[in-house]
Amino acid sequence: MKKIVPLALLALFVILPIETISAIDVPAPPPGFTWQEIRELKAAFLKPNGWFFKREEQKGTLAYFITKENIDKSGEFQTGLTINVFRLKKDSAVERGKDLIDQLAATKHGEKWAKDVGPFREFGCLTRDTDASGTSVVHTLTVANPKTNTLYLLIFESPDTEWDAAWKTGKQIMDMLAIDDEI
């Protein structure tokens, strides 16, 4: 049996056989959330009730979106989580995750941090990004699995004017990640 390691909770969960209804055994979600399972990753992420989920794949990179706005209708979103997954063949997932956050913090003058969570290495950065549409606050987290050399890039963002309320939701999502340590 493989284990799911919920980051920030440090509890271990067991993957159930594929034939079962749910591939991942996760705790009950907090009020106002459901678990969005991503079977191909053997992972689950909290999705606020009423929010949307979308999956894309481009050039071998898997991308998932959990967003307040419906991307299929508008083509974009203002508030939500982007998840990219890179299965690296040559580069070190740990070094690439660290380098990505270091570069982001340097160019955007962001506050950065790093920590180990179970078998994973996390590197994070909080930045502000301003363009013609306004200013967004962006919480970027890389989660590296050195055993499988997989890198997860998680980006939660929201307009600056809505950040405080959005981050109450985003923090719960980012604090309760369930990722299989075998992927």
Q: What's residue 62's pLDDT?
A: 78
Q: What's residue 57's pLDDT?
A: 85
Amino acid sitting at position 90? K
Cα(105)–Cα(180) distance, integer angstroms: 28
User: Comparing 158 with 23, which gets the higher pLDDT?
Assistant: 158
Contact at 8 Å (CB) between 125 and 101?
yes
Our measurement of the distance from residue 108's CA atom to the centroid of its chain's CA atoms, rounded to an integer in Å, reads 20
Q: Give the residue among 140, 102, 103, 147 at the shortest CA–CA distance from 121.
A: 147
pLDDT one-digit tens code per residue, 6-55: 444 333 333 323 233 356 788 999 999 999 999 888 899 999 999 999 99
Residue 1 has pLDDT above 80, yes or no: no
The order of strands in the sheet holding 33-38 is 13-14, 3-7, 177-180, 43-48, 33-38
Contact at 8 Å (CB) between 181 and 5?
yes
Residue 2 has pLDDT above 60, yes or no: no
Instruction: Give 176's pLDDT tier (boundaries 50, 70, 90).
Output: very high
Q: What's residue 8's pLDDT?
A: 41
Domains of the chain plus CATH, in order, are: 3-180 (3.40.1000.10)
pLDDT one-digit tens code per residue, 84-126: 999 899 999 999 999 999 999 999 999 999 999 999 999 999 9
Residue 59 has pLDDT above 90, yes or no: no
Cα(79)–Cα(81) distance, integer angstroms: 7
